[in-house]
Chains A and B, each alone.
Chain A
Amino acid sequence: MRWQANSSVTETLIKNLMIKILPILLSLFLVTGCSRYSMQELRISLETGNYEEAYAELKKNAQKKAELPLLFELGMVAHYANHFMDSNETLGQAEEIADELYTKSLSKEALSLVTSDLAKPYAVKKYERLLSYYYQILNYYYLNQLSGALVECRQATNLIEYYKGEGDDYDFFGSGFVAYLCGMIFEAAGEWNDAFISYRQAEVNYRNSLEKAGVPIPEYLGDSLVRVARKLGFTEEAADYQALYGALPEYPENYGELILFYESGYVPQKDKVTLTFPILKTDEFGEEHEAEAKKFVPTLLEREGRTYPDVELEYLLHIEMPTYHSNRPQLTGIKVQVGEMIEQGHLVEDVEQIAIETLNTEYTVVLFRTLVRALLKYLVTREVDKKSEVLGLLANLVNIITEKADTRSWVTLPNQIFMVRMSLPEGTHTVGLSFLNGNGGIGLRERLGDVEISSNRITLLNYRTYK
C-alpha cells in the first residue's frame, strides 16, 4: 500500500518535470535549430542602411550551417552591401542546394512523418529561385561583367523551360519578369535573337500568370519587341507588335536608356494558424493501417472548427498550418524625374501576390499531409497511453510540440518591384526619385547623383525602400 502511494507520487513528479522541462527543451531545438538569426534585427539593420552589419551577422550564421532560405537572405543582403561577388557565390551555392533537393532524403522524410515538415529541407519555391537570378544578373552587371550576366540569363531561361516542361499546371510566377530582364541583358550584349526570344517568352509568361499574379504585360515590353524585331529584320513581326503595342518612340542617336528597378517593402512573412478537428467517440478509423487514417481525413476536414458536446468528444486534434497576412508597404509606386522629363514606374513583379498564391496552391496537399500525420501521432499516443499514463503524456507532449507549421520562406524579398525606363541624352544626370504612397501622393523623395548614360546603351539601377 505504502509502495503504491510512493509510486503514484513518483509518477506525479515525473509528469510535472516532463511538463516543465521537455516543452522548453524541444521548443528550443525546433525554434532555433543550428542556424539562429533574428529576422527582426536583420530588418532593423536593413532599414537603417546598416547593410555591412546585417551581412556580417548573416554570414556568421550561414557559416555554421549553409541551408535555404538563409543563403537567399545572405545573397540578397550581400547584394545591398555591394559585395556583388560574394552575393553571386552565395546565390550560386543556394542554386546548387536547390538542385540537390530533387533527391529526397529518406531519413528526413521519415522524420517529418513523425514530427513536422520542418524536419525536411526547405522546399524552395519556384519564384524564389527565379528572383535569385534577378539579383545575380544585377550583381554581374554592377561588376561590369556582362558575360557573367549573360550566363545567368541562360540559366534562368533554362530553368523556366524546365518548369514549363514539368507539367501543364506551371503557374509562371516570376517567369515573365525574369524573362523580360534577360531580354534586356541579351539586347545590351547585342545578342538580338536571344533578346527577341526572351521578350516573346516574357510576353507569354506574363499573360499566363496574369489571372493569379495580377501583373499585366508591362507596356515597355511592347517597345522592346518592336525594336528588336526591327533589328533582326523581322518586318512582319515588328508590324504585328507595333499594331498591338503602338509605335516605337524615336530618340536621337546620342541617347541611352536608364532602367531603374524600384523594390518596395517586404514580402509578408509566413505566419501560422492553429486549426482544430474534433475526433468523436463514435469514430472508427486507422486503428490498424495508415490507409484508414487517410480515408478518415476528408470526414475530419468537414468538422474543422465545429463544436460538439463534451460527451461526444474523444479528442481535439490541433494542427498548425502556414498562412500569409498581407504586408503591403506604405510606398507603392515611383516617379522618376530627370530635368523636365518625368516617368512613372510600372509594376513588373508582385512578390506578395505570388507568395500568397503559391501557398494557396500548396495548401490542400500540406493540410492533408499534416492531418494524416497528426492522426497517426494521435493513434500512437492513444496506444501508449493505454499501457502507461506517463508515457502517454510524454508522447502527447512530443506530438503537440513537434507539430509545427513550416513557416520558412525568403523573407527579405521586396513586396513589389516596379520598373522605370527613360531615354536620356548621353552624359551624367541627377535622377530624382519620388516614392508614392497608396493615394498617389509623394511619401518620400530621394536623389541619385552622377548617373552615367552612354549613347545607345542601357544603364541598370535598382533601389530599395522598406517603408
Chain B
Amino acid sequence: MYEKQRKLANHTVLLVCQLLIGLIALVGCGASKQVTRVESDTTIDLSGRWNDTDSRMVAETIIEDCLGHSWIIEHTADASAKPVLIVGGIRNKSMEHIAVQTFISDIERAFINSGKVRTVSSASERSEIREERAEQGEFSAIETIKRMGRELGADYMMTGEINTIADQEGGNQVMFYQTDLTLTNIETNEKVWIGQEKIKKFIGRKKYKM
C-alpha cells in the first residue's frame, strides 16, 4: 500500500511537471508566420512609415501636375518636339531610410508612360551604357556597333527632396511628408515648374493589448 502511494505521488508530480514544461514551451517559444500574396498596387500600411504606395502615389500625382503645366506647351511650340527630361538627384532629407531610387524609378515610369516627354538615363546609368558602347566598338560585329556621340541631350532636369516633420505625444504620432520637385531648364537655369506633394499620416498606438 505504501509503495503504491509512493508511486502514485511520483507519477502525479511528474505529470504536473511535464504539463508545466509543455505549457511554457508552447506559450513561450511558439512562433507563427503567414504569407499571403497581394496585388502590387494594394495599399497596406503596417508601420506608418513611407512605403511603396507613398512612393507610387506621390510620383503619379506630382508628375501629372508637372505634365499638365504650361511649360510643356511652350516648349513644344518653341522646339516643335517633345521635351527631353532627366531625373537628377532627389535628396532624402527625411528621418526615414527611404529608397530614393525606387521613387526616381516611379517618376521616370510616370514620365515615360505619359508619352508627352522623352526621358534619358541618369548620370550613373549613362556611364554603364557608355562603357558598353565602348566595348561594342572593340568586340561587336561592325554592323551592330552603336555609334558614339549620338546621345540625346536633356532639355530639363528634375531635382528635389523629401522632408519629414514628426510630432509625437504619448503613443500617438503624426508624420508629415513633403516632397518638393523642381524642373530646371538645363541651358538657361530657369526653373520652369515647381511641384509639391504632401502626405500626412496618423500613427496611433494603443496603451494596452491582450
> A residues within 8 Å of B by Cβ?
6, 9-10, 13-14, 17-18, 21-22, 25, 29, 33-34, 64-65, 96, 99-100, 102-107, 109, 147-148, 150-151, 154-155, 157-158, 162, 165
Select one of B20, B94, B209 contacting A105, CB under 8 A: B209
Select one of A18, A25, A154, A162 contacting B20, CB under 8 A: A25
Given A34-B29, A96-B47, A151-B94, do A21 and B208 touch, yes or no (CB 8 Å)? no
In contact, A103 and B13 (Cβ under 8 angstroms)? no
- B6 contacts A by Cβ under 8 Å: yes
B38-51 contact mask (Cβ, 8 Å, vs A): 1 or 0? 00000000010000
- B37 contacts A by Cβ under 8 Å: no
Query: How far is A64 from B25 in the complex, measured between Cα atoms in Å?
Result: 12
List the B side residues contacting A18 at CB < 8 Å.
13
In contact, B10 and A17 (Cβ under 8 angstroms)? yes
Nearest A residue to B91 via CB reads A147
Within 8 A of A (CB), among B155-210: 164, 166, 168-171, 205-210
Shortest beta-carbon contacts, A-B, top 8: A154-B95, A102-B171, A34-B29, A17-B13, A10-B5, A13-B9, A102-B205, A155-B95
Determine how close the nearest CB of chain A comes to the CB of B87; give it in whole angstroms: 17
Given contacts A65-B29, A103-B171, A147-B91, 16 further A-B contacts (CB under 8 A): A9-B2, A9-B5, A10-B8, A10-B9, A13-B6, A13-B10, A17-B13, A18-B13, A21-B13, A102-B205, A102-B207, A103-B208, A106-B208, A147-B92, A158-B168, A162-B168
Determine how close the nearest CB of chain A comes to the CB of B95; give it in whole angstroms: 4
Query: How far is A146 from B183 in the complex, measured between Cα atoms in Å?
Result: 26
Determine how close the nearest CB of chain B comes to the CB of A252; give it in whole angstroms: 31
In contact, B209 and A22 (Cβ under 8 angstroms)? no
Query: How far is A155 from B49 in the complex, measured between Cα atoms in Å?
Result: 13
In contact, A14 and B171 (Cβ under 8 angstroms)? no
Consensus secondary structure, chain A interface: helix
List the A side residues contacting B24 at CB < 8 Å.
29
List the A side residues contacting B13 at CB < 8 Å.
14, 17-18, 21
Determine how close the nearest CB of chain B comes to the CB of A360; give it in whole angstroms: 25
Query: How far is A150 from B8 in the complex, measured between Cα atoms in Å?
Result: 67
List the A side residues contacting B171 at CB < 8 Å.
102-103
Given A6-B1, A6-B2, do A104 and B95 touch, yes or no (CB 8 Å)? no
Given A17-B10, A25-B20, do A158 and B206 touch, yes or no (CB 8 Å)? no
In contact, B5 and A6 (Cβ under 8 angstroms)? yes
In contact, B29 and A107 (Cβ under 8 angstroms)? no
Query: How far is A18 from B14 in the complex, measured between Cα atoms in Å?
Result: 10
Given A13-B6, A33-B28, do A105 and B168 touch, yes or no (CB 8 Å)? no
Sampled A-B contacts (5; CB under 8 Å): A10-B8, A107-B210, A151-B96, A158-B95, A165-B168
Determine how close the nearest CB of chain A comes to the CB of B174; give it in whole angstroms: 12
List the A side residues contacting B147 at CB < 8 Å.
none
Determine how close the nearest CB of chain A comes to the CB of B46; give it in whole angstroms: 11
List the B side residues contacting A34 at CB < 8 Å.
28-29
Select one of B1, B47, B94 contacting A154, CB under 8 A: B94
Query: How far is A17 from B168 in the complex, measured between Cα atoms in Å?
Result: 54
- B105 contacts A by Cβ under 8 Å: no
- B12 contacts A by Cβ under 8 Å: yes
Query: How far is A65 from B29 in the complex, measured between Cα atoms in Å?
Result: 8
Nearest B residue to A191 via CB reads B93
In contact, A151 and B28 (Cβ under 8 angstroms)? no
- B33 contacts A by Cβ under 8 Å: no
Nearest A residue to B12 via CB reads A14
In the complex, which of the residues A13, A18, A99, A107 has the most CB atoms of chain B within 10 Å of its own CB atom?
A: A13
Given A102-B205, A158-B166, do A151 and B92 touch, yes or no (CB 8 Å)? yes
List the A side residues contacting B209 at CB < 8 Å.
103-106
In contact, A22 and B207 (Cβ under 8 angstroms)? no
